[in-house]
Amino acid sequence: MIGKYIYFDSGTTNTRIYYIEERVMKAVQSRKIGTIDNVASGDRHTLLRGLKDMYDRLLRELALSDADIDGIYMSGMATSQNGVHEVGYLRVPVGLAEYRNAVSFWRTPLFERQVGFLTGLVYRPDMTKGTLQNAAEFNNVRGEEIELLGIMETYSPFFAGKKTAVIMPGSHTHILYTEDQKIVEITSCMGGEMFAAMAVNTILSASVTAAPDVIVEQGLISGFDMVRKYGINRALYITRTLDLFTDESLQTRNSYLEGVINEGIITALQSSRRFGDLDCIAVAGSPIYFQIYAPLLSHAGVTVPCIRIEQNKNDSFALQGFLQFIK
């Protein structure tokens, strides 16, 4: 599809808006707004108003009008129950063709035009209703799927003919399994939100920072081991103990807490029925995540090769996925 397009990549806490012309990204802006703002305000139009404001501002800066835009699309949490417009999940396995065919259009308030909403994905054993007994068999993503479609295109030689688990950290950390250029399974976990909850809203806020930028491997491994030895409750409190009774640095305490939080991601991966057949594990996102997961995987005895999926500074995998979507 050649023309002028606006694409919103909207998550739990942040949103990016892209202007694309003739399949080339010409402008991008970001804002700290997401579905958490709908939940916190109790008003499901809070996010919508924020997105419309981003849209209007970008058009003014580009000296464009709404009539110049051939299409507007949204992906990620904007399509969720707490977002702008809920779109049902598409069941895996899913490749780019199936994903493209599942787009849902809705005449959206404030925009007063049809907007395309790109669906999230779900892994479920069958179409029966979830219960307390089978809930662990249900896993879902919104936003990571289009990022992974972009990753698979960018790294197509790597994914060809391989069974891969891609760890995708964020507010929530998902593990997506790929085979034959398709997303075939999902494991859904808490991630960044869990770290933030501990680092911001508990006594641990006095001992760690909310956004660590240095990983001390010894502290990381220690946090991991404490969970496996004592359980997560005791292991979390030891973060405070490190501050009160040792000379360990802030960076070590941060790394320890990362080890505590991310032990569960490694356990979830090792518990997957696909784990034994993997050819490779890939870690997407900021370089610091590779500094977390590569040592933890090695320490946990995982021998499958682990690689870092790199991203250009001014680019995003979600954008790459959307560019594939509009081809």
CATH of the domain at 30: 3.30.420.40
Q: Provide the phi-psi class of 3: left if phi over 0, else alpha when psi is between -120 and 50, else beta.
A: left
CATH of the domain at 286: 3.30.420.310
Q: Are 95 and 13 contained in the same domain?
A: yes
Give me the pLDDT at residue 247, please: 98
Last residue of a domain, one of 122, 138, 165: 122
Q: Are 104 and 197 contained in the same domain?
A: no
Within a domain: 65:
yes
Q: What is the pTM of this model?
A: 0.91
Within a domain: 165:
no
Give me the pLDDT at residue 312, please: 67
Last residue of a domain, one of 122, 140, 171: 122
Find out whether 166 and 176 touch, Cβ atoms under 8 Å.
yes
Instruction: Show Cβ contacts of residue 250 under 8 Å, excluding neighbours closer than 6 positions.
Output: 208, 209
Domain holding 97, by residue range, is: 4-122
Q: Are 118 and 197 contained in the same domain?
A: no
Question: How many domains, in total, are found in the chain?
Answer: 2
Within a domain: 94:
yes
Question: How many angstroms separate the CA atoms of 122 and 184, rounded?
Answer: 10
Last residue of a domain, one of 107, 122, 137: 122
Within a domain: 22:
yes
Within a domain: 294:
yes
Within a domain: 24:
yes
- Residue 83 DSSP SS3: coil
Within a domain: 327:
no
Q: Are 118 and 194 contained in the same domain?
A: no
Q: Would you call 159 exposed, middle or buried from its count of C-beta atoms within 10 A (0-12, 13-18, 19+)?
A: buried
Whole-number CA gyration radius for the chain:
20
Q: Choose among 259, 174, 267: nearest CA to 224.
A: 259
pLDDT (tens, 9 = 90+) of the chain, 327 residues, equals: 789 999 999 988 899 999 999 999 999 999 999 999 999 999 989 999 999 999 999 999 999 999 999 999 999 999 999 999 999 999 999 999 999 999 999 999 999 999 999 999 999 988 778 899 999 999 999 999 999 998 998 888 889 899 999 999 988 999 999 998 899 999 999 999 999 999 999 999 999 999 999 999 999 999 999 999 999 999 999 999 999 999 999 999 999 999 999 999 999 999 999 999 999 999 998 899 999 999 999 999 999 999 999 876 556 889 999 999 998
Within a domain: 315:
no
Find out whether 162 and 96 touch, Cβ atoms under 8 Å.
no
